[in-house]
Amino acid sequence: MTTSWPETVAQARRLRHDLHRRPETAWAEHETAATVREILDTAQIHWRRCADTGTVATLAPQASGRHVALRADLDAMPIAEQTGLPYTSQIDDTMHACGHDGHTATLVAVAHWLSAHRDALPGPVTLLFQPAEEGGHGAARMIEDGALAAPDPRAPAVDVIFGWHNWPALPYGLALCPDGPVMAANGTFGVELHGRGGHASQPEATRDPVLAAAAVTVALQQVVARRLAPQAPAVLAVTSLEAISAATVTPDRAALAGSIRVPDLTVRDEVFAAIEQIATATAAAYGVHAEVNTAARYGATVNHREPAAELRAALHATFGTGWDRHAVGAPVMASEDFSYYLEQIPGAFALIGGGPAAPQRTAALHSAHYDFNDALIDPVARLLIALAGAPPPPAHDITAS
Protein backbone atom coordinates (compact mmCIF):
# COMPACT_ATOMS: atom_id res chain seq x y z
CA MET A 1 0.00 0.00 0.00
CA THR A 2 1.26 3.47 -0.91
CA THR A 3 1.90 5.72 2.11
CA SER A 4 3.39 8.70 0.26
CA TRP A 5 0.78 11.43 0.49
CA PRO A 6 1.40 12.96 -2.96
CA GLU A 7 1.07 9.52 -4.54
CA THR A 8 -2.06 8.80 -2.49
CA VAL A 9 -3.64 11.99 -3.85
CA ALA A 10 -2.52 11.17 -7.38
CA GLN A 11 -4.05 7.70 -7.10
CA ALA A 12 -7.30 9.24 -5.85
CA ARG A 13 -7.38 11.58 -8.82
CA ARG A 14 -6.90 8.66 -11.22
CA LEU A 15 -9.62 6.75 -9.41
CA ARG A 16 -11.95 9.75 -9.73
CA HIS A 17 -11.45 9.86 -13.48
CA ASP A 18 -12.02 6.11 -13.73
CA LEU A 19 -15.26 6.36 -11.74
CA HIS A 20 -16.32 9.26 -13.94
CA ARG A 21 -15.90 7.10 -17.07
CA ARG A 22 -18.22 4.39 -15.73
CA PRO A 23 -20.97 6.05 -13.67
CA GLU A 24 -23.81 4.07 -12.10
CA THR A 25 -27.13 5.43 -10.91
CA ALA A 26 -28.84 4.86 -7.55
CA TRP A 27 -28.97 1.22 -6.40
CA ALA A 28 -26.99 0.13 -9.49
CA GLU A 29 -23.51 1.03 -8.16
CA HIS A 30 -22.24 -2.56 -8.41
CA GLU A 31 -18.94 -1.88 -10.22
CA THR A 32 -18.32 1.21 -8.09
CA ALA A 33 -18.88 -0.80 -4.91
CA ALA A 34 -16.62 -3.59 -6.16
CA THR A 35 -13.85 -1.08 -6.90
CA VAL A 36 -14.10 0.48 -3.44
CA ARG A 37 -14.08 -2.92 -1.75
CA GLU A 38 -11.05 -4.07 -3.73
CA ILE A 39 -9.17 -0.94 -2.65
CA LEU A 40 -10.16 -1.53 0.97
CA ASP A 41 -8.90 -5.10 0.74
CA THR A 42 -5.58 -3.86 -0.67
CA ALA A 43 -5.33 -1.41 2.23
CA GLN A 44 -6.13 -4.23 4.68
CA ILE A 45 -9.22 -2.45 5.97
CA HIS A 46 -12.07 -4.63 7.20
CA TRP A 47 -15.38 -3.88 5.50
CA ARG A 48 -18.88 -5.26 5.22
CA ARG A 49 -21.65 -4.93 2.67
CA CYS A 50 -24.40 -2.53 3.76
CA ALA A 51 -27.64 -1.73 1.94
CA ASP A 52 -26.57 -3.91 -1.00
CA THR A 53 -24.22 -1.58 -2.93
CA GLY A 54 -23.08 0.30 0.16
CA THR A 55 -19.93 -0.47 2.13
CA VAL A 56 -19.06 0.12 5.79
CA ALA A 57 -15.35 -0.01 6.67
CA THR A 58 -14.02 0.40 10.21
CA LEU A 59 -10.49 1.05 11.45
CA ALA A 60 -9.25 0.71 15.05
CA PRO A 61 -12.57 -0.71 16.33
CA GLN A 62 -11.10 -1.35 19.77
CA ALA A 63 -9.63 2.12 20.28
CA SER A 64 -10.94 3.84 23.40
CA GLY A 65 -11.83 7.29 22.04
CA ARG A 66 -15.00 8.49 20.36
CA HIS A 67 -16.19 6.68 17.27
CA VAL A 68 -16.14 8.97 14.22
CA ALA A 69 -17.92 8.23 10.93
CA LEU A 70 -17.07 9.85 7.59
CA ARG A 71 -19.39 9.48 4.58
CA ALA A 72 -19.10 9.58 0.79
CA ASP A 73 -21.86 8.96 -1.76
CA LEU A 74 -21.44 6.73 -4.82
CA ASP A 75 -24.24 7.28 -7.31
CA ALA A 76 -24.38 9.15 -10.60
CA MET A 77 -27.34 10.68 -12.43
CA PRO A 78 -29.43 9.92 -15.55
CA ILE A 79 -27.93 12.80 -17.58
CA ALA A 80 -26.17 12.66 -20.95
CA GLU A 81 -22.71 14.16 -20.40
CA GLN A 82 -21.62 17.06 -22.62
CA THR A 83 -18.23 17.97 -21.13
CA GLY A 84 -15.98 16.56 -23.85
CA LEU A 85 -13.45 15.55 -21.20
CA PRO A 86 -10.85 12.85 -21.90
CA TYR A 87 -12.50 10.79 -19.15
CA THR A 88 -16.09 11.54 -20.19
CA SER A 89 -18.79 9.02 -19.31
CA GLN A 90 -18.79 5.86 -21.40
CA ILE A 91 -22.31 4.98 -20.27
CA ASP A 92 -25.14 6.40 -22.35
CA ASP A 93 -27.35 8.97 -20.62
CA THR A 94 -25.51 8.56 -17.31
CA MET A 95 -22.89 10.82 -15.74
CA HIS A 96 -21.40 11.97 -12.46
CA ALA A 97 -23.13 15.35 -12.59
CA CYS A 98 -23.00 15.94 -8.84
CA GLY A 99 -19.40 15.08 -7.98
CA HIS A 100 -19.99 11.86 -6.11
CA ASP A 101 -17.03 10.42 -8.02
CA GLY A 102 -14.89 13.06 -6.30
CA HIS A 103 -16.45 12.42 -2.90
CA THR A 104 -15.71 8.70 -3.21
CA ALA A 105 -12.14 9.23 -4.42
CA THR A 106 -11.47 11.64 -1.56
CA LEU A 107 -12.68 9.16 1.07
CA VAL A 108 -10.54 6.45 -0.55
CA ALA A 109 -7.50 8.72 -0.08
CA VAL A 110 -8.52 9.12 3.57
CA ALA A 111 -8.84 5.35 3.90
CA HIS A 112 -5.28 4.80 2.64
CA TRP A 113 -3.85 7.34 5.08
CA LEU A 114 -5.85 6.08 8.06
CA SER A 115 -4.84 2.51 7.30
CA ALA A 116 -1.16 3.47 7.37
CA HIS A 117 -1.68 5.29 10.70
CA ARG A 118 -4.36 3.15 12.33
CA ASP A 119 -2.27 2.59 15.46
CA ALA A 120 -2.30 6.36 16.09
CA LEU A 121 -6.09 6.71 15.88
CA PRO A 122 -7.58 7.84 19.21
CA GLY A 123 -10.89 6.09 18.54
CA PRO A 124 -12.65 3.94 15.96
CA VAL A 125 -13.23 5.43 12.52
CA THR A 126 -15.97 4.19 10.22
CA LEU A 127 -16.01 5.03 6.52
CA LEU A 128 -19.44 4.97 4.89
CA PHE A 129 -19.50 4.50 1.11
CA GLN A 130 -23.20 5.12 0.58
CA PRO A 131 -25.37 4.35 -2.45
CA ALA A 132 -28.46 6.15 -3.74
CA GLU A 133 -28.13 9.68 -2.41
CA GLU A 134 -29.85 11.07 -5.52
CA GLY A 135 -33.43 10.53 -4.41
CA GLY A 136 -32.98 6.90 -3.38
CA HIS A 137 -32.90 7.42 0.40
CA GLY A 138 -29.64 5.51 0.56
CA ALA A 139 -28.70 6.95 3.94
CA ALA A 140 -31.94 5.66 5.46
CA ARG A 141 -31.23 2.18 4.11
CA MET A 142 -27.65 2.30 5.42
CA ILE A 143 -28.93 3.20 8.89
CA GLU A 144 -31.54 0.41 8.76
CA ASP A 145 -28.73 -2.00 7.87
CA GLY A 146 -26.66 -0.99 10.89
CA ALA A 147 -24.20 1.51 9.40
CA LEU A 148 -24.07 3.49 12.65
CA ALA A 149 -24.08 0.49 14.96
CA ALA A 150 -21.10 -1.01 16.74
CA PRO A 151 -18.84 -2.90 14.29
CA ASP A 152 -18.57 -5.77 16.79
CA PRO A 153 -19.88 -6.50 20.32
CA ARG A 154 -16.75 -5.12 21.98
CA ALA A 155 -16.74 -1.81 20.10
CA PRO A 156 -18.91 1.30 20.53
CA ALA A 157 -21.52 2.55 18.10
CA VAL A 158 -20.76 5.68 16.06
CA ASP A 159 -20.68 8.80 18.25
CA VAL A 160 -20.42 11.56 15.62
CA ILE A 161 -20.60 11.80 11.83
CA PHE A 162 -19.16 14.29 9.33
CA GLY A 163 -19.96 14.81 5.66
CA TRP A 164 -19.45 17.31 2.88
CA HIS A 165 -20.50 18.18 -0.63
CA ASN A 166 -18.56 20.03 -3.30
CA TRP A 167 -20.28 23.31 -4.15
CA PRO A 168 -19.25 24.91 -7.49
CA ALA A 169 -21.31 28.02 -6.74
CA LEU A 170 -18.67 28.87 -4.10
CA PRO A 171 -15.08 29.63 -5.17
CA TYR A 172 -12.40 27.18 -4.14
CA GLY A 173 -11.22 27.85 -0.59
CA LEU A 174 -14.62 28.98 0.72
CA ALA A 175 -17.19 26.90 2.56
CA LEU A 176 -20.53 26.97 4.35
CA CYS A 177 -20.95 25.20 7.69
CA PRO A 178 -23.53 26.83 9.99
CA ASP A 179 -25.06 25.71 13.22
CA GLY A 180 -28.56 24.45 12.42
CA PRO A 181 -29.94 23.95 8.90
CA VAL A 182 -27.35 23.88 6.11
CA MET A 183 -29.59 22.37 3.41
CA ALA A 184 -33.35 22.36 2.95
CA ALA A 185 -36.02 19.71 3.16
CA ASN A 186 -37.65 18.82 -0.15
CA GLY A 187 -40.63 17.17 -1.74
CA THR A 188 -42.29 16.65 -5.10
CA PHE A 189 -45.79 17.16 -6.42
CA GLY A 190 -47.83 16.21 -9.46
CA VAL A 191 -51.12 17.56 -10.75
CA GLU A 192 -53.16 15.62 -13.30
CA LEU A 193 -55.93 17.59 -14.99
CA HIS A 194 -58.88 15.81 -16.58
CA GLY A 195 -61.09 17.77 -18.95
CA ARG A 196 -63.00 17.11 -22.15
CA GLY A 197 -61.14 17.15 -25.42
CA GLY A 198 -62.39 18.13 -28.83
CA HIS A 199 -61.76 20.11 -31.98
CA ALA A 200 -59.80 23.32 -31.53
CA SER A 201 -62.41 25.17 -33.59
CA GLN A 202 -65.08 24.46 -30.98
CA PRO A 203 -63.68 25.57 -27.59
CA GLU A 204 -67.19 25.84 -26.15
CA ALA A 205 -67.61 22.08 -26.52
CA THR A 206 -64.44 21.30 -24.58
CA ARG A 207 -63.15 21.67 -21.05
CA ASP A 208 -59.56 22.58 -21.80
CA PRO A 209 -56.98 20.93 -19.47
CA VAL A 210 -54.12 22.76 -21.22
CA LEU A 211 -55.50 26.15 -20.27
CA ALA A 212 -56.21 24.88 -16.77
CA ALA A 213 -52.64 23.55 -16.46
CA ALA A 214 -51.24 26.93 -17.47
CA ALA A 215 -53.46 28.65 -14.91
CA VAL A 216 -52.47 26.20 -12.17
CA THR A 217 -48.79 26.76 -12.99
CA VAL A 218 -49.18 30.51 -12.58
CA ALA A 219 -51.39 30.22 -9.50
CA LEU A 220 -48.91 27.99 -7.68
CA GLN A 221 -46.39 30.85 -7.70
CA GLN A 222 -48.47 32.57 -5.02
CA VAL A 223 -47.74 29.81 -2.50
CA VAL A 224 -44.30 31.21 -1.66
CA ALA A 225 -45.22 34.85 -2.35
CA ARG A 226 -48.47 34.99 -0.39
CA ARG A 227 -48.85 31.90 1.82
CA LEU A 228 -45.47 31.94 3.60
CA ALA A 229 -43.82 34.56 5.76
CA PRO A 230 -41.06 36.49 3.98
CA GLN A 231 -38.62 35.20 6.62
CA ALA A 232 -39.25 31.58 5.60
CA PRO A 233 -37.01 30.65 2.65
CA ALA A 234 -38.77 28.38 0.19
CA VAL A 235 -38.73 27.40 -3.45
CA LEU A 236 -41.65 26.00 -5.47
CA ALA A 237 -40.81 25.08 -9.06
CA VAL A 238 -43.06 23.60 -11.73
CA THR A 239 -40.49 21.66 -13.72
CA SER A 240 -42.54 19.75 -16.28
CA LEU A 241 -45.78 20.29 -18.21
CA GLU A 242 -47.29 17.65 -20.47
CA ALA A 243 -50.31 17.92 -22.75
CA ILE A 244 -49.76 15.66 -25.74
CA SER A 245 -52.05 16.33 -28.68
CA ALA A 246 -52.25 17.42 -32.29
CA ALA A 247 -52.17 21.07 -33.32
CA THR A 248 -55.92 21.13 -33.96
CA VAL A 249 -57.04 18.94 -31.05
CA THR A 250 -57.70 19.88 -27.44
CA PRO A 251 -56.65 16.85 -25.34
CA ASP A 252 -58.59 15.23 -22.53
CA ARG A 253 -55.68 15.37 -20.14
CA ALA A 254 -52.74 17.51 -19.08
CA ALA A 255 -50.26 17.05 -16.25
CA LEU A 256 -47.66 19.11 -14.48
CA ALA A 257 -45.08 18.26 -11.86
CA GLY A 258 -42.47 19.99 -9.77
CA SER A 259 -40.58 20.16 -6.52
CA ILE A 260 -40.44 22.24 -3.37
CA ARG A 261 -37.58 23.21 -1.07
CA VAL A 262 -38.34 24.42 2.44
CA PRO A 263 -36.42 24.98 5.69
CA ASP A 264 -38.33 22.47 7.82
CA LEU A 265 -41.02 19.81 7.76
CA THR A 266 -43.76 22.05 9.19
CA VAL A 267 -43.39 24.44 6.27
CA ARG A 268 -43.32 21.50 3.86
CA ASP A 269 -46.71 20.34 5.15
CA GLU A 270 -48.09 23.88 4.74
CA VAL A 271 -46.83 24.10 1.16
CA PHE A 272 -48.24 20.68 0.24
CA ALA A 273 -51.66 21.67 1.62
CA ALA A 274 -51.60 24.94 -0.32
CA ILE A 275 -50.63 23.16 -3.57
CA GLU A 276 -53.60 20.82 -3.27
CA GLN A 277 -56.04 23.62 -2.41
CA ILE A 278 -54.88 26.00 -5.15
CA ALA A 279 -54.58 23.38 -7.89
CA THR A 280 -58.01 21.91 -7.14
CA ALA A 281 -59.77 25.25 -6.96
CA THR A 282 -58.06 26.69 -10.03
CA ALA A 283 -58.86 23.63 -12.11
CA ALA A 284 -62.50 23.77 -11.02
CA ALA A 285 -62.73 27.37 -12.20
CA TYR A 286 -61.88 26.10 -15.69
CA GLY A 287 -64.36 23.23 -15.53
CA VAL A 288 -61.56 20.69 -15.12
CA HIS A 289 -60.97 18.08 -12.42
CA ALA A 290 -57.55 18.01 -10.71
CA GLU A 291 -55.89 15.05 -8.98
CA VAL A 292 -53.00 16.18 -6.79
CA ASN A 293 -50.23 13.95 -5.44
CA THR A 294 -47.47 15.10 -3.09
CA ALA A 295 -44.47 13.15 -1.83
CA ALA A 296 -42.03 14.01 0.93
CA ARG A 297 -38.41 13.29 0.13
CA TYR A 298 -35.56 14.38 2.42
CA GLY A 299 -35.72 16.34 5.65
CA ALA A 300 -33.57 19.39 6.26
CA THR A 301 -29.87 18.74 6.88
CA VAL A 302 -29.43 20.24 10.35
CA ASN A 303 -25.97 20.58 11.87
CA HIS A 304 -25.41 19.96 15.56
CA ARG A 305 -23.68 22.83 17.33
CA GLU A 306 -20.52 21.19 18.73
CA PRO A 307 -19.68 19.03 15.67
CA ALA A 308 -20.33 22.05 13.44
CA ALA A 309 -17.88 24.11 15.49
CA GLU A 310 -15.33 21.31 15.16
CA LEU A 311 -15.85 21.13 11.40
CA ARG A 312 -15.50 24.92 11.09
CA ALA A 313 -12.22 24.76 13.01
CA ALA A 314 -10.98 22.09 10.59
CA LEU A 315 -12.05 24.24 7.63
CA HIS A 316 -10.11 27.17 9.09
CA ALA A 317 -7.02 25.02 9.60
CA THR A 318 -7.30 23.66 6.05
CA PHE A 319 -8.19 26.75 4.02
CA GLY A 320 -7.01 29.55 6.30
CA THR A 321 -8.56 32.83 7.35
CA GLY A 322 -11.43 33.97 5.19
CA TRP A 323 -12.84 30.55 4.30
CA ASP A 324 -16.30 31.74 5.45
CA ARG A 325 -16.28 35.20 3.81
CA HIS A 326 -18.97 34.82 1.21
CA ALA A 327 -22.56 35.84 0.59
CA VAL A 328 -24.13 32.38 0.46
CA GLY A 329 -26.73 32.09 3.19
CA ALA A 330 -27.97 29.01 4.99
CA PRO A 331 -29.88 26.93 4.38
CA VAL A 332 -29.25 26.52 0.67
CA MET A 333 -32.35 25.20 -1.05
CA ALA A 334 -30.80 21.97 -2.32
CA SER A 335 -31.39 18.82 -0.26
CA GLU A 336 -29.27 15.92 0.99
CA ASP A 337 -30.06 12.55 2.51
CA PHE A 338 -27.22 13.12 4.98
CA SER A 339 -30.17 14.53 6.93
CA TYR A 340 -31.04 10.97 7.97
CA TYR A 341 -27.72 10.54 9.79
CA LEU A 342 -28.09 13.87 11.60
CA GLU A 343 -31.55 12.83 12.78
CA GLN A 344 -29.93 9.83 14.50
CA ILE A 345 -26.64 11.05 15.98
CA PRO A 346 -24.66 14.30 16.39
CA GLY A 347 -22.75 15.47 13.36
CA ALA A 348 -22.15 18.22 10.83
CA PHE A 349 -22.13 18.76 7.09
CA ALA A 350 -20.29 21.38 5.02
CA LEU A 351 -20.60 22.71 1.50
CA ILE A 352 -17.05 23.25 0.22
CA GLY A 353 -16.42 25.52 -2.73
CA GLY A 354 -14.96 24.03 -5.87
CA GLY A 355 -15.62 26.83 -8.32
CA PRO A 356 -13.22 29.34 -9.87
CA ALA A 357 -12.75 32.80 -8.45
CA ALA A 358 -15.28 35.45 -9.54
CA PRO A 359 -16.11 36.70 -12.13
CA GLN A 360 -15.53 33.35 -13.83
CA ARG A 361 -18.36 30.86 -13.79
CA THR A 362 -18.43 27.08 -13.72
CA ALA A 363 -21.14 24.58 -14.57
CA ALA A 364 -23.62 23.95 -11.78
CA LEU A 365 -24.35 20.65 -10.10
CA HIS A 366 -26.71 18.46 -12.15
CA SER A 367 -25.55 20.14 -15.36
CA ALA A 368 -24.48 18.06 -18.36
CA HIS A 369 -21.37 20.31 -18.47
CA TYR A 370 -20.34 19.88 -14.81
CA ASP A 371 -17.10 18.29 -13.63
CA PHE A 372 -15.74 17.85 -10.11
CA ASN A 373 -12.71 20.00 -9.25
CA ASP A 374 -9.85 17.57 -8.56
CA ALA A 375 -8.05 20.24 -6.53
CA LEU A 376 -10.50 19.49 -3.70
CA ILE A 377 -9.22 15.95 -3.12
CA ASP A 378 -6.07 16.97 -1.23
CA PRO A 379 -7.47 19.58 1.18
CA VAL A 380 -10.76 17.83 1.90
CA ALA A 381 -8.99 14.54 2.55
CA ARG A 382 -6.74 16.40 5.01
CA LEU A 383 -9.79 17.91 6.65
CA LEU A 384 -11.44 14.49 7.10
CA ILE A 385 -8.20 12.99 8.39
CA ALA A 386 -8.05 15.74 11.01
CA LEU A 387 -11.64 15.06 12.09
CA ALA A 388 -10.72 11.39 12.48
CA GLY A 389 -7.90 12.39 14.83
CA ALA A 390 -5.10 10.89 12.72
CA PRO A 391 -1.66 12.44 12.23
CA PRO A 392 -1.78 14.95 9.35
CA PRO A 393 -0.17 14.32 5.96
CA PRO A 394 2.98 16.35 5.20
CA ALA A 395 2.22 20.05 4.82
CA HIS A 396 2.48 21.85 1.50
CA ASP A 397 0.80 24.74 -0.22
CA ILE A 398 -2.79 24.07 -1.25
CA THR A 399 -3.80 25.76 -4.48
CA ALA A 400 -6.74 25.33 -6.81
CA SER A 401 -6.19 23.79 -10.21
67 is in an annotated binding site: no
Q: Specify the amino acid at residue 387.
A: L
Structure confidence by residue, pLDDT tens digits, 234-262: 999 999 999 999 999 999 999 999 999 99
User: Which band of pLDDT confidence, cut at 50, 70 and 90, is reported for residue 32?
Assistant: very high
Q: What is the mean pLDDT of residues 360-374?
A: 92
117 is in an annotated binding site: no
Q: In the chain, what percentage of residues exceed pLDDT 70?
A: 97
DSSP of 14-50: HHHHHHHHS---TT--HHHHHHHHHHHHHTT--EEEE
User: Which band of pLDDT confidence, cut at 50, 70 and 90, is reported for residue 232?
Assistant: confident
Helix ranges, 334-376 (H): 339-344
Tell me the three-class secondary structure of 173-204, residue by residue: CCEECCCEEEECEEEEEEEEEECECEECCCHH
Structure confidence by residue, pLDDT tens digits, 122-157: 999 999 999 999 999 999 999 999 999 998 888 899
366 is in an annotated binding site: yes
103 is in an annotated binding site: no
Q: What is the mean pLDDT of residues 338-358?
A: 94
Nearest 10 degrees: Cα torsion 152, 155, 161, 165: -50
| Residue 122 Cα distances to 163, 263, 348, angstroms | 20, 36, 20
In the predicted model, what is the mean pLDDT of the chain?
A: 95
Q: What is the mean pLDDT of residues 80-100?
A: 98
Question: Which DSSP symbol is given to 314?
Answer: H
What pLDDT, on a 0 to 100 scale, did the predictor assign at position 192? 98
Q: What is the mean pLDDT of residues 5-31?
A: 98
What pLDDT, on a 0 to 100 scale, did the predictor assign at position 361? 72
| Contact assessment for residue 157 and residue 150, using Cβ atoms and an 8 Å cutoff | yes
pLDDT over threshold 80, residue 360: no
Calculate ∠ Cα 383-10-350, nearest 5°. Answer: 25
Structure confidence by residue, pLDDT tens digits, 267-300: 999 999 999 999 999 999 999 999 999 999 999 9
Burial of 229 (0-12, 13-18, 19+ CB in 10 A): exposed
Cα torsion angle, 200, 201, 205, 211, sign: positive
Q: What is the mean pLDDT of residues 11-26?
A: 98
What pLDDT, on a 0 to 100 scale, did the predictor assign at position 401? 41
100 is in an annotated binding site: yes
pTM of the complete model: 0.93
Cα separation of 194 and 288, whole Å?
A: 6
